[in-house]
Structure 1
Amino acid sequence: MGPSLAGITQYEKSPIYSLKGIDQFVSVTVIIISSSLLTLATNCMRTENSIQATPLYLGVDGGGSKTRAWLADEKGTVLGRGNTGTANINYTTRTSAVAAIRAACTQAFRSARVTESKVSGAWLGLAGMARACDRDWMKEQFSELAIKIEVSDDLHIAHCGGLAGDPGIVLVAGTGSACYGRNYTGQTWRCGGWGSLADDAGSASWLSQRAFQLAARQADGRATGNAIKDVVFDFLKIKNSEDFSQAVEGLSRYSRAQICPQLSSLYFEGNPLVKKLYKEAALALAEMITVTARQLEFSSPNVILSGAIASSKGPLNSLLCKELEKRLPTIQLCEPLYSPCAGAIMEAYRINNIDWRSNSISHFAK
């Protein structure tokens, strides 16, 4: 039998230490620690095996700048999350888009401490998936991911999550912009979302593009003042006008959209050109919602404002809300009930004939 704690006290008091006693104590300590670690490892394996035996579901939200993946069980418990870069095939290569989605899913499995395997259901809601042929192609790339899998655009899952499956309208205005609605008969309507060259009205990329145009006009004298030019030049890290064209041409829409916080500051400082710019953005976004409401014959629609540029408490959000009150006096502006990732999980449940409303999903994050 190894030494007791009292024995250790005796060793400390004695001027001559018993090496044999110390060796016995170390041996017992190692055995105790090893046993504890083995018990912990066994419990972890049991937990992982129990999770592995549970039907699992993946929901993916691939927006204009980030891709998020959630792994959940059939009771609505989110077990793991992943977060990577853009998966929009219109602004990155198809190979990169697929890699971003795979990486996000892998992260979700790892954070859940579950070995990657074929899940029962998966729903991928991705920006740039308006065409059926693109959705079919993407579905083929992930056929091994789930027993049942579907692909939609990101607007669909933002609507599903934000309104928890109920009728209404969701406006997404972040890097890009688009509006999507579904009425009580199941009819849907999409407005906007035609890309940065043809549309994206009112979005962060649209605001930044207009700001760059105003900066050019201030640089050559066509517009008065220097405030916007100075902010843009500082953002681009240039000092001379001759460097402007090259600096702008190399920017992606996501990169140029990062100037919006500086534009917001100019707005609050009272810059007239920036205030006019934000007013135009609010009118463009309000128009999308108004047209969608008219097409779906809504009288008092529930509306979700989603995306960083529309939902944040900045100048655009305030202007947009005021404009909507004029155009649609009976509109019901609502906070999203659940996130787009939660919406994707809900759809993964649906294609597996699981009534998610009967599950406890209050812990789904917004």
Structure 2
Amino acid sequence: MEEKVVMAIDGGATKTAITLQLTNGKTLFNKISTGSNIHAIGIKHVERVITDLLMEAYQAIPNTHIEVAAFAMAGIDTSHDMSIIKGIIENCLNNVPFEINTIIVENDVHSTLLGLTDGKPGALVLSGTGSIAYAFDGKDLMVRTGGWGHLAADEGSGYWVGQQILRAIIRAEDGRTNKPTYLKTLLFEKLQVTNIEQLLAWVYHPEFTNAQMASISSILSDAIERGDETAIHIAKSAAKELSILAITVLEKIQYTGEVFTLYMNGGILRNHIVIKDLFQQYVSTKYPNISFELCQDAPIQYILKRALSEVNKVNK
């Protein structure tokens, strides 16, 4: 049987990845670019990022026929968002002469969960720049909780943690709390600033992004290791918010305690052990039979599996 080509695009808030792969697993092209969430950088910038990636892929392997192209995009939170993203992808493909049989456009976490479960029941909680949860009952019900963006929600996300750190530093600087915190020292070191004025100039820069706010979260673990009470409180709050996402999405598929895997992904759950452990503890209190699994591969690998599953459907 002739090997077919699938394409996966993972359009996240922080970075966008593209991979073209044969159905036998051989990779033909890989590239990573900047983020492509419409709510973070706008339509024109997203179109430029996607078009550039597609053009580079086409130049590397011209005249390639693609069986399935899966566009897994952050920022698809409503039907209106979906229509905008589909329009962007259509414009991008008009500029790149790929021949594509089937195009899938989905929220990035939706696609990732389908790639993870391969048709079986499961749930995924992601805490990266933003936060969101999806659950699939293994039949026809796919539900979500969260993922509404930093202005409306995203509790427990990297952006949210970064914001809590920034607010704690400002409160301490104002004298609105008597609780000392090491977070200020760590953040000043990270950003190479020496005073609050320089910190605020960084935050209020016209090109400041969600990803930059989320990057602040990286100092939390160091502060926790030093016993910083403010940092520990932020970690507990983040874990609690993420557990609420998970519990709510499980309730939506009427989970009753059977064998079930809850997958975890994103920088907060992958890199902050205290938050991950507390999150599992909070969820297990409600659902003691849940099995937790930290995603080991890059999201693009699960989106490739999502594309491959569509090829398999056609071949059956």
Scaled by the length of structure 1, what TM-score is found? Answer: 0.75
Residue of structure 1 in register with 2:304 after alignment: 345
Q: 1:153 aligns with which of 104, 107, 123?
A: 107
Whether 2:225 is the aligned partner of 1:275: answer no
Segments of 4+ in structure 1 off by > 6 A?
none
Alpha-carbon distance, 1:166 to partner: 1.9
Return the alpha-carbon distance in structure 2 between the equivalents of residues 274 and 115 of structure 1. 51
SS in 1 for 2:103: strand
Alpha-carbon distance, 1:352 to partner: 4.5
Return the alpha-carbon distance in structure 2 between the equivalents of residues 353 and 279 of structure 1. 43
Return the alpha-carbon distance in structure 1 between the equivalents of residues 118 and 209 of structure 2. 33
Mapped contact 1:162–1:335 kept (Cα < 8 A): no
Shift in alpha-carbon separation, 1:207–1:281, aligned structure 2, 3 A? same
SS in 2 for 1:258: helix
Task: Considering fraction of residues, name the structure with more strand.
Answer: 2
Q: 2:120 aligns with which of 152, 166, 170?
A: 166
Return the alpha-carbon distance in structure 1 between the equivalents of residues 203 and 294 of structure 2. 36
Alpha-carbon distance, 1:294 to partner: 0.8
Residue of structure 1 in register with 2:284 after alignment: 325
Return the alpha-carbon distance in structure 1 between the equivalents of residues 272 and 175 of structure 2. 34
Alpha-carbon distance, 1:75 to partner: 2.8
Question: What is the RMSD of the two structures over their aligned residues, measured on CA atoms?
Answer: 2.4
Alpha-carbon distance, 1:120 to partner: 2.5
Residue of structure 1 in register with 2:182 after alignment: 227
SS in 2 for 1:130: coil
How many equivalent residue pairs? 303
Scaled by the length of structure 2, what TM-score is found? Answer: 0.87
Residue of structure 2 in register with 1:200 after alignment: 154
Instruction: Give the AA of the match of 1:241.
Output: I
**Paired residues for 1:45-194 under 5 Å:** 55-108=4-57, 113-115=60-62, 117-131=64-78, 132-144=82-94, 145=98, 146-194=100-148
Alpha-carbon distance, 1:247 to partner: 2.6
Q: 1:285 aligns with which of 242, 248, 255?
A: 242
Mapped contact 1:208–1:259 kept (Cα < 8 A): yes
Alpha-carbon distance, 1:188 to partner: 1.5
Instruction: Give the AA of the match of 2:148.
Output: W
Whether 2:242 is the aligned partner of 1:295: answer no
Alpha-carbon distance, 1:107 to partner: 4.6
Q: Map Cα deviations across residues 277-334 of structure 1 (whole Å, 9 max, x no partner).
A: 1000000001100011111011243110011111236221122122222121010112
Q: Which moved more, 1:131-140 or 1:326-335?
A: 131-140
Alpha-carbon distance, 1:211 to partner: 0.6
Alpha-carbon distance, 1:337 to partner: 7.5
SS in 2 for 1:208: helix
SS in 2 for 1:91: helix
Return the alpha-carbon distance in structure 2 between the equivalents of residues 203 and 150 of structure 1. 27
Q: Which moved more, 1:277-286 or 1:117-126?
A: 117-126
* Runs of 5+ consecutive residues of structure 1 not aligned to the other structure: 1-52, 359-366
* Runs of 5+ consecutive residues of structure 2 not aligned to the other structure: none
Q: Percent identity?
A: 22
Instruction: Give the AA of the match of 2:91.
Output: Q
